[in-house]
């Protein structure tokens, strides 16, 4: 059974004790992501996530990684449209190390200029990798068309020209203006004592950012079409629709529908379009929910000579 505590500063702490395990996973989840960025610093939330691991007033970047990995643990992070998360996976007895590292990077990161310059290059390479992968980029193209001129429609990675020019102050200021205990949840699951964990977090979280920014724009879904000609072997197609938010009564129903429609080898789309007709190698559906909207879609790759037959069959399945 999970337990929840809320500290005086608004920080929420959630645990799930699983006594049969000898491990624990812990994460700090911030309600801050790509859709909280201004257009001129698009990509800063993701860059900030990278920079959090690049040194604090207490540790170098190498020491951050070694502290966790020397005890067989794992440390990582991710940035999405609405969330930035930092997490560790450890043997239960090493949880104090995880608490120390994660709270350190959120309170004492130094954003060294040398590390920032290096990390800009890393992210520019990441952008280049995506640009070379049409099966990845098509999702960004579709999102931008679905939510034009809105933060939620922009790429998490940002654009190369922007990443090249984002300053250290802009990265630090984004963290200090958006991160706040009221927007954070610290969770842990595994072999863990809730009360001991809460006390450890209280002692560690004494200097969290106190950002006051709260101007997230309401999403406005727009229909449209995007095409781009490239010399490729396949046509990459994404057919999408407006979905539903996390709070909608049909949230789980849509997840089930997506699974039945295109969730695996036994799904309707896979069986009809690949197995029976051989029109694609892979086809799948997805449902993504946000706090105030959602998207639902089908992605596939097919040949130029198959697309005319495929479209009517796909529409019939819907």
- Residue 3 tokens read as 């337990």
Look at residue 86 and give its three-state secondary structure: strand
Q: Which residues of 213-229 are buried (b: 16+ CB within 10 A; e: fewer)?
A: eeebeebebeeeeeeee
Q: Of 10, 12, 27, 34, whose CA–CA distance to 178 is shortest?
A: 34
Q: In what order do the strands lie in the sheet with 280-289?
A: 235-242, 294-302, 280-289
The Cα–Cα gap between 205 and 229 comes to 51
Q: Of 156, 160, 188, 150, whose CA–CA distance to 82 is shortest?
A: 156
- Residue 22 tokens read as 């000898």
Count how many residues are written for the chain: 318
Q: What sign for the dihedral angle of Cα 169, 38, 9, 76?
A: negative
Q: What sign for the dihedral angle of Cα 38, 39, 45, 47?
A: negative
Is 275 catalytic? The answer is no
The Cα–Cα gap between 239 and 220 comes to 18
CB atoms closer than 10 angstroms to residue 155: 18
Catalytic residue, chosen from 22, 37, 39, 49, is 49
The Cα–Cα gap between 307 and 309 comes to 5
- Alpha carbons within 13 A on the beta-carbon side of 225: 1
Cβ–Cβ < 8 Å for 79, 42:
no
Active site residues: 49
């Amino acid at each position: 059974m999970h337990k929840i505590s809320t500290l005086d500063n608004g920080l929420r702490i959630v645990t799930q004790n699983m006594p049969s395990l000898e491990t624990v996973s812990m994460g700090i989840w911030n309600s801050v992501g790509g859709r909280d960025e201004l257009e001129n610093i698009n990509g800063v939330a993701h860059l900030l996530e990278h920079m959090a691991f690049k040194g604090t007033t207490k540790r170098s970047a190498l020491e951050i990684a070694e502290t966790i990995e020397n005890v067989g643990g794992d440390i990582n992070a991710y940035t999405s449209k609405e969330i930035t998360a930092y997490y560790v996976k450890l043997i239960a007895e090493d949880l104090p190390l995880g608490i120390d590292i994660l709270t350190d990077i959120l309170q004492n990161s130094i954003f060294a200029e040398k590390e920032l310059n290096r990390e800009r290059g890393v992210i520019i390479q990441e952008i280049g990798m995506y640009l070379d992968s049409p099966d990845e980029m098509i999702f960004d193209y579709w999102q931008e068309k679905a939510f034009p001129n809105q933060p939620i429609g922009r790429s998490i990675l940002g654009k190369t020209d922007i990443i090249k020019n984002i300053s250290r102050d802009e990265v630090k200021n984004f963290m200090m203006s958006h991160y706040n205990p009221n927007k954070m949840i610290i969770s842990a699951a595994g072999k863990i004592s809730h009360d001991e964990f809460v006390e450890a977090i209280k002692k560690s979280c004494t200097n969290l950012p106190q950002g006051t920014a709260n101007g997230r724009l309401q999403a406005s879904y727009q229909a449209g079409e995007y095409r781009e000609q490239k010399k490729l072997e396949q046509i990459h197609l994404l057919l999408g629709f407006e979905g539903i938010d996390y709070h909608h009564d049909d949230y789980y129903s849509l997840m089930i529908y997506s699974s039945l429609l295109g969730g695996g080898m036994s799904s309707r789309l896979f069986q009809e379009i690949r197995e029976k007709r051989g029109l694609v190698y892979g086809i799948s559906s997805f449902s993504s929910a946000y706090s105030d909207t959602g998207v639902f879609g089908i992605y596939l790759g097919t040949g130029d000579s198959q697309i005319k037959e495929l479209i009517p069959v796909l529409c019939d399945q819907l």
